[in-house]
């Protein structure tokens, strides 16, 4: 039985971390934390922030989406689903450092957090046409040095955070030996989401989880639907706070067949 005061401290630490990486504490104004969206401070049409660089969040995720990561990590640990955790499309690294903090807070041994990104933004689609992402002027660029510094500032940068730099087409094929309990795909465009599924989905363990961040974006959604249809994947999708999540119900290594 865990010490109740330790549980309360862990809850408080993780809650404070969520408020900090979203910069709710500074940007929240009148909004409750549940309702707060940092992107309300972002001008989508102009493709730029309305706030100065120092007050920008280090994750675009909202509370409910961070809660989903926490639930997913705990479930994978409880069920002993083998493998590490990964985010493909990390921007400034807030979700990665949150996953690393979860390992610490829940004393989860052995697993690592993989962080895959170009550190050069979202490349233009070559396979998809009419993906609105191609009209974005802000490609969500953050350098690897910046991400490392962001994670280090929270005291969470160590060998259990594994960087996978490069555009997915080049970087992900080399991951063939890894196994994952949780992959979180947050790369916005049709091509990027399709490529990440192509290389990473076969590495997800049976019972592992796939979280798709950009379920509201048409290109991303289409990429997921096309991939699932191509491989006959029918594992039910649940929607949670504008994210999609499903549990992979077939054996590690082989994509599902219809």
Ligand X SMILES: C[S@@+](CC[C@H](N)C(=O)[O-])C[C@H]1O[C@@H](n2cnc3c(N)ncnc32)[C@H](O)[C@@H]1O
Smaller CB distance to ligand X: residue 84 or 186? 186
Among 77, 131, 186, 198, binds ligand X (CB under 6 A): 186
- Contact partners, residue 84, CB within 8 Å, separation at least 6: 111, 112, 113, 114, 162, 178, 179, 180, 181
Query: Residue 122 interacts with ligand X (CB under 6 A)?
Result: yes
Q: How far is the CB of 163 from ligand X (least distance, A)?
A: 12
Q: How far is the CB of 199 from ligand X (least distance, A)?
A: 11
Query: Residue 77 interacts with ligand X (CB under 6 A)?
Result: no
Query: Residue 99 interacts with ligand X (CB under 6 A)?
Result: no
Query: Residue 60 interacts with ligand X (CB under 6 A)?
Result: yes
What angle do the packed helices 63-78 and 4-21 form, to 10 degrees? 140
Strands 42-43 and 48-49: antiparallel
Q: Are 103 and 151 in contact (CB under 8 A)?
A: no
Query: Residue 131 interacts with ligand X (CB under 6 A)?
Result: no
Smaller CB distance to ligand X: residue 83 or 94? 94
The SS3 assignment for 252 reads coil
Burial of 135 (0-12, 13-18, 19+ CB in 10 A): exposed
Q: How far is the CB of 178 from ligand X (least distance, A)?
A: 16
Strands in the chain per DSSP E: 42-43, 48-49, 84-88, 113-117, 161-165, 180-185, 204-212, 238-240, 243-247
Smaller CB distance to ligand X: residue 76 or 95? 95
Q: Which stretch binds ligand X (CB under 6 A): 28-36, 75-83, 113-121, 246-254?
A: 113-121
Q: How many CB atoms lie within 10 A of CB 232?
A: 11
Q: Which stretch binds ligand X (CB under 6 A): 57-65, 70-78, 201-209, 248-256?
A: 57-65
Query: Residue 194 interacts with ligand X (CB under 6 A)?
Result: no
Tokens at 60, concatenated? 């675009």
Residues 11-40 that bind ligand X (CB under 6 A): none
Which stretches of the chain bind ligand X, using CB under 6 A? 59-61, 87, 89-91, 94-95, 117-118, 121-123, 140, 167-168, 186-188, 192, 195
């Amino acid at each position: 039985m865990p010490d109740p005061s330790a549980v309360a401290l862990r809850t408080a630490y993780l809650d404070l971390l969520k408020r900090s990486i979203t910069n709710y504490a500074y940007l929240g104004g009148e909004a409750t934390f549940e309702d707060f969206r940092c992107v309300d401070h972002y001008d989508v049409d102009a493709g730029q922030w309305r706030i100065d660089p120092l007050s920008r969040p280090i994750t675009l995720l909202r509370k409910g989406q961070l809660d989903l990561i926490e639930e997913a990590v705990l479930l994978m640990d409880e069920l002993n689903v083998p493998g590490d955790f990964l985010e493909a499309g990390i921007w400034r690294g807030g979700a990665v450092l949150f996953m690393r903090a979860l390992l610490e807070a829940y004393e989860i041994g052995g697993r690592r957090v993989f962080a895959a990104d170009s550190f050069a933004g979202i490349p233009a689609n070559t396979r998809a046409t009419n993906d609105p992402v191609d009209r974005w002027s802000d490609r969500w660029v953050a350098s690897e040095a910046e991400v490392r510094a962001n994670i280090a500032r929270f005291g969470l940068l160590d060998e259990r955070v594994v960087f996978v730099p490069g555009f997915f087409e080049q970087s992900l094929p080399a991951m063939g030996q890894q196994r994952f309990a949780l992959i979180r795909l947050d790369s916005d465009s049709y091509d990027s989401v399709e490529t990440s599924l192509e290389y990473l989905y076969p590495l997800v363990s049976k019972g592992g989880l796939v979280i798709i961040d950009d379920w509201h974006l048409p290109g991303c959604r289409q990429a997921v639907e096309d991939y699932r249809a191509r491989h006959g994947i029918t594992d039910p999708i649940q929607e949670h706070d504008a994210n999609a999540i499903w549990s992979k119900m077939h054996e590690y290594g082989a994509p599902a067949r219809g």
